[in-house]
Structure 1
Amino acid sequence: MAFPNKYTHRKVAETSAKSCEVCFKPSTSVLITDDSKDWFYVCPGHLKDSGFCTPKIDHAAIEARKKKELDEEIERVKKEYEEKQKKKKEKDSKNDKEKEKEKEKEKDSKDGDDKDKEKDMDKGKTDTSSMGTSASPANNNSNEDEEEPRIFELKATFYQQRINKKRQAEIAKRNRERLRDPSYFPSVPKNLP
C-alpha cells in the first residue's frame, strides 16, 4: 500500500486550481508520485519551505539540459557565421562590379573620380556599421535563475500524514462496499422462539 516518498511537481490550468493541502488557498501546483497512487495540491511557496519538503536534484538531467543548450548555441553561432560569410561574398562581388564600373568612369572623366572616392568611403562606413549590428544579441537564458527543481521528497511527518490519509480512505471505501453487500448484515430469524 505504501508508495515511494518521491513526488514530481506539475502545474495545472488556472481553471483546475484547488485548495492547497497545507493552507487551503487555491493553487495550480500539484505534487504527484511516479506511479500516480498519491497526489495533492500545494502552494509553490510551500515547496521552498525546508520544513515541508526537500528538492531532489537530478544531476544527469541538468547536465543533459546544459549540453543541449550548448549544442543549440553552437548551431546558432555557426548559422550566423555562414550568413556573414554569404553577405561578405555578395558584397565582394558587388564591390568587384562597382570597381569595374569605376574604372570605366575614370577613363570617361577625371571629375567623377572624387565623387566615387566619397561613395566608396561612405559604403565602407556602412559596411562596418552593418557588420556590428548584424550580430544578434546573446541568449539571456544563462543569466536567468536556475529552473526550479521538479522532484521533491516530503519530510517524515508530512509523508506519514499522506500514508495515513490514504489508509483511512481505503478503509472507508472497504466499509462502504461492505455496507452495500446484503450478506454482511445478519438475517432475520425465521424460527419462532
Structure 2
Amino acid sequence: MAFPNVYTHRKVADTKAKSCDICFKLSCSVLITSDNRDWFYVCPSHLKDTGFCTPKIDHAAIEARKKRELEEEVERVKKEYEEKQKKKKEKAEKGEKKDEVEDKKGKDGKSGEDINKSQDKPEPIKDGTATSPAEEEGEEEEPRVFELKSTFYQQRVNRKRQAEIAKRNRERMQNPTFFPSVPKNLPS
C-alpha cells in the first residue's frame, strides 16, 4: 500500500497552477513519486525548508556529469590548440609568401599590400560550445529528488489510505446487497 518516500520535483504550466498543500498559495511546482501513485503541489520555498524535506543527492550522476564536463573541456582545449598551431603555420607560410612578394615587387611594380589584400583570409572557426550564464557563474542546478520528513510522509500515506477507504465505501454503498433486506415473515 505504501509508496516510496522519494519525490521528484517537476514544474507545470502557469495555467495549471494549483494551491500548495502546505500554505495554499498558487504554485507551479509538483512533487511526484517515481511510480506516480502520489503527487501534490508545493511552493519552491518549501523545498528549501529542511523541516519539510531533504534533497537526495545522486553522487553517481554528479560524478558522471563532472566527468562529461571535463571531457568537453579537454576537447575544447585540443581544438583551440590545433587552431593556434594552424594559425602559426599559416603565418609562417605568409612570411615566406611575403618574401616572395617582395621579390616580385621589384619585377611587377605592385606593392606587397595589394597582393595580400587580394588573398582570402581564413575566418576563425567557432566550435559552437557556448556556455550558459549559470555555468559561467558556477551556479549549481537545484536538486530534483527529495525525501519528505517522516511526519509529512506519514500524512501523505494517511491521506492516501483514507481516500482509498472512502472510495471502497462508496463502491459498497452502490452494491444493493450491502444493506440488509426487509424481513419476509411476520414475527411470531
TM-score where L is the length of structure 2: 0.79
Instruction: Give the Å deviation of 1:35.
Output: 1.5
Greater shift in the superposed pair: 163-172 or 181-190? 181-190
- Residue 159 of structure 2 is aligned to residue 165 of structure 1: yes
Matches of 2:107 and 2:127 in 1, distance apart?
39
Instruction: Give the Å deviation of 1:107.
Output: 5.5
Greater shift in the superposed pair: 50-59 or 76-85? 76-85
How has the CA–CA distance of structure 1 residues 41 and 137 changed in structure 2, closer, same or farther, with 3 Å as cutoff? closer
- Residue 141 of structure 2 is aligned to residue 143 of structure 1: no
| Deviation readout 1:161-181 (Å, 9 max, x if unpaired) | 101100110011001111111
Instruction: Give the Å deviation of 1:49.
Output: 0.4
Matches of 2:128 and 2:61 in 1, distance apart?
29
- Map 1:1-193; keep pairs closer than 5 Å: 1-106=1-106, 139=131, 141=135, 143-192=137-186
Percent identity of the aligned residues? Answer: 70
Matches of 2:11 and 2:128 in 1, distance apart?
33
Which structure dedicates a bigger proportion of its chain to helix? 1
Gaps of at least 5 residues in structure 1 are 124-129
| Deviation readout 1:17-71 (Å, 9 max, x if unpaired) | 1111101111111111111111111111000001111111111111111111111
Are the counterparts in 2 of residues 80 and 135 from structure 1 also a CA contact under 8 Å?
no
Instruction: Give the Å deviation of 1:6.
Output: 1.2
**Amino acid aligned to 1:29:** S
TM-score where L is the length of structure 1: 0.77
How has the CA–CA distance of structure 1 residues 167 and 137 changed in structure 2, closer, same or farther, with 3 Å as cutoff? closer
Matches of 2:45 and 2:34 in 1, distance apart?
22
Gaps of at least 5 residues in structure 2 are 118-122
Matches of 2:31 and 2:174 in 1, distance apart?
34
Instruction: Give the Å deviation of 1:91.
Output: 4.1
Tell me how large the CA RMSD over aligned residues is: 3.0
How many equivalent residue pairs?
177
| Deviation readout 1:73-114 (Å, 9 max, x if unpaired) | 2222223333333444444434433321111214667xx8xx
